[in-house]
Structure 1
């Protein structure tokens, strides 16, 4: 919850107490430059021992509750017929109202299976916005992704509460032009990752459902970031203010033919799954679970993780529980704005998103400004964020660079992990970096994989700007880390 101090300041208040701690390390700035070089200026390749605040992602790094930890001790360890799986399956059925549940080891496994079953060569998958792995799985199976977001989605400074909504007119036009038989399915992502964690509304999802009904198409709903989206629907959508989180969840789930999620995000453990009420869809996907993931009652997950997910899904129905992430993200975004740092507004879910295009207007997109800014933030603070820009795209077939719609650095906010003082530290160092932004230059690939290059590609700074930045840091902060 947020609370107002006597001084007039409003801050997010941690609604938990810390019972287990992990020691952190903050290397000196010179060591951070060295670590960044060794990682090929790719924050994914940094060693965690060299990172002070790991804000790369909220995937699989959220702190579990005491109830989740306790549940892991009750796990029924069995290859087939595990009582633990039955417990998870029952919780999924209770919350989402779906009859069938297929377990997987994480969200991209769901994408792989759904794409293999439904995506055929020369078919199209309309999306409110793509995610990196969701797009690759579609294209690997011969399909194409078409984004049908509304125009406001790309407006980084906005007051639109639901920039993740799909443009219904554009969607209808696309279906008419391609032909319904050429649409593999329609995918809606809850909490659009690549445009700042922006939510969609319940009303918009209902409108997408109506289009699916009209053209006899499947609606596939990625609910990995559902927790944040539920908070925003409850807070921002007038028709939902008096509804419980559980009621909103069921109404959302009722719109989809197939739901899938990464439990590294939804449920705060490690795993995933596909949910449906269609026996036909269930049977089409079932064999792929045993082929790629494991038997139908574990799907690549440990039973301990399944116990934790069961509790985590129930905790996601707690309004206070799911509000803390968005509230801490909003606080960080607002504090950066006060210091002139350009961020995506309104603040979305998953993390605070910094606009690298406005932060580094002197760095062209072909020199990967978001990647350069992520590297610079690590050098200045020891905090590891993630590039969400052109580096996260893949080149066209002719080798030309695919420029992204946005150049963002995501400073993820894992749930119940950081204290407010740590968030304030990150804000301070990013604000210092913004005041010295002219020192930051671009980057170029030296090792460039053809697919998902942002995961393990390596780059180099085009000048000695990292050393110049470190020298300025030492000049301003002295012996301070």
Structure 2
């Protein structure tokens, strides 16, 4: 009989103590943070599922690699090890290191985007769209409609709708589209993959119109695993080979090594065009550092290079995705409304379905994330209207069809028992959801990327009206 949860392909060598807080302590912490889980101190969090970015546990091989980091300002041997690893597993010729994925997004946007240009993509991501808009571009969502339906079981909800993409090209002109932005997997859709067949079609259509295809490769290894599991014709291929095939269908990639590569910091921009590479190498000096370290210490370059080779090992990626699926299965069995199918890096609770009595303008996902933290000290991430921000032309809140809280699982950090605790808390909050009789209003709203720094207050707050008391 197969085990419900296969054993992890690693053993624990060092532990970090966790602090368990009381409900009263969590109430105080939540108020001090303005009901924004982004502003909580990590010391006040028990199980931190806010993100899998830079929160992973590095291996003994990564730690040992850090000891030989070359901290030379120019031409460090650690850069050349990173360059060799990216070329081997991702296949790109020109690699420019950055301090993290946002640094790569900044370089890509400044090089390619001009005011009045249009960038189609398979659903927005917060920082990616912000970089595109700050450089004068307009993002257009060309993902398939199934991606916006939490209950749809489409195995590749990250696919681009080719008809939508063709209509946009006809409307604005190919010359006004600097590149197609393809995420693998799609974060805001719940970690949903794009198929190899669809990526091939996107590449062919873009090439026909002389448009580049740029990959958000932060979780491309997870995407490769889903292709192996779900797409006909790829089951006998290795994850490493599938990853390389995915990248072959693109002209470049922005990478946050804080995800698939297990590192705590780091990233890179990779391109095939030598002229683009030259521009990026010149620009990186202004914003990051010299083109052979790009804002990273030599020891971190070594950790990323080692992490890249570990990320494509079959047993590692299988354990990673299966742990996420384990939590998803527990919540599905308890009839918690989730984005289906379960994604590669997170389990996403449909907050709009869980709290249908809370109006969208009172931010159900933000409300549910705060309630989950209050119940157990588990920190999730809001991925709904707060993250979506405001429309720049109208000033009105954007209300995406997906109003989610994201339970994001760091790699090699938490055990099956931690997942059980998370499931118990989500289920308990769901049982008591009627206590959340009101949502949250802005007390302070930043202009850009508001979900990081915003503060809230319970809607219609007054005596006896605070659901978080």
Per the alignment, residue 266 of structure 2 pairs with 271
Residue by residue, what CA displacement relative to the aligned partner does 1:162-197 show, whole Å, maximum 9, x if unpaired?
000001111111101111111121110011111111
Per the alignment, residue 338 of structure 1 pairs with 333
Per the alignment, residue 403 of structure 2 pairs with 407
Per the alignment, residue 364 of structure 1 pairs with 359
1:443 equivalent among 440, 443, 447: 440
Per the alignment, residue 319 of structure 2 pairs with 324
CA contact (8 A) 1:444 1:459 kept: yes
Per the alignment, residue 19 of structure 1 pairs with 13
- Report the secondary structure of 2:119's partner residue: strand
In angstroms, what is the RMSD of aligned CA positions? 1.3
1:355 equivalent among 350, 354, 358: 350
Post-superposition offset of 1:12: 3.8
C-alpha distance in 1 between matches for 2:7 and 2:369:
28
1:459 equivalent among 444, 456, 459: 456
Query: Is 2:407 the counterpart of 1:377?
Result: no
Post-superposition offset of 1:316: 1.4
Post-superposition offset of 1:467: 6.0
Query: Is 2:147 the counterpart of 1:150?
Result: no
Per the alignment, residue 214 of structure 2 pairs with 220
TM-score normalized by structure 1? Answer: 0.94
Per the alignment, residue 426 of structure 1 pairs with 422
Alignment of 1:181-330 (within 5 A): 181-269=175-263, 270-330=265-325
CA contact (8 A) 1:212 1:218 kept: yes
Residue by residue, what CA displacement relative to the aligned partner does 1:326-363 show, whole Å, maximum 9, x if unpaired?
21111111111111211111000211100001110001
Post-superposition offset of 1:275: 1.1
Residue by residue, what CA displacement relative to the aligned partner does 1:8-32 show, whole Å, maximum 9, x if unpaired?
xx12422211111000011101111
C-alpha distance in 1 between matches for 2:240 and 2:413:
25
**Runs of at least 5 residues in structure 2 that lack an aligned partner in the other structure:** none
CA contact (8 A) 2:221 2:243 kept: no
C-alpha distance in 1 between matches for 2:403 and 2:412:
28
Post-superposition offset of 1:405: 2.1
TM-score normalized by structure 2? Answer: 0.97
- Report the secondary structure of 2:308's partner residue: helix
CA contact (8 A) 1:220 1:256 kept: yes
Alignment of 1:69-108 (within 5 A): 69-108=63-102
- Report the secondary structure of 1:163's partner residue: coil
CA contact (8 A) 2:92 2:252 kept: no
C-alpha distance in 2 between matches for 1:254 and 1:412:
29
CA contact (8 A) 2:180 2:212 kept: yes
Per the alignment, residue 473 of structure 1 pairs with none
**Runs of at least 5 residues in structure 1 that lack an aligned partner in the other structure:** 471-481
CA contact (8 A) 2:124 2:188 kept: yes
C-alpha distance in 2 between matches for 1:468 and 1:257:
50
CA contact (8 A) 1:221 1:260 kept: yes
CA contact (8 A) 1:336 1:427 kept: yes
Residue by residue, what CA displacement relative to the aligned partner does 1:202-245 show, whole Å, maximum 9, x if unpaired?
11111100011110001111100112111111111111111111
- Report the secondary structure of 1:261's partner residue: strand
Post-superposition offset of 1:469: 5.2
- Report the secondary structure of 2:233's partner residue: helix
CA contact (8 A) 1:190 1:224 kept: yes
CA contact (8 A) 1:394 1:453 kept: yes
CA contact (8 A) 2:367 2:440 kept: yes
C-alpha distance in 2 between matches for 1:467 and 1:445:
15
CA contact (8 A) 1:72 1:307 kept: yes
- Report the secondary structure of 1:238's partner residue: coil
CA contact (8 A) 1:162 1:201 kept: yes
Alignment of 1:49-60 (within 5 A): 49-60=43-54
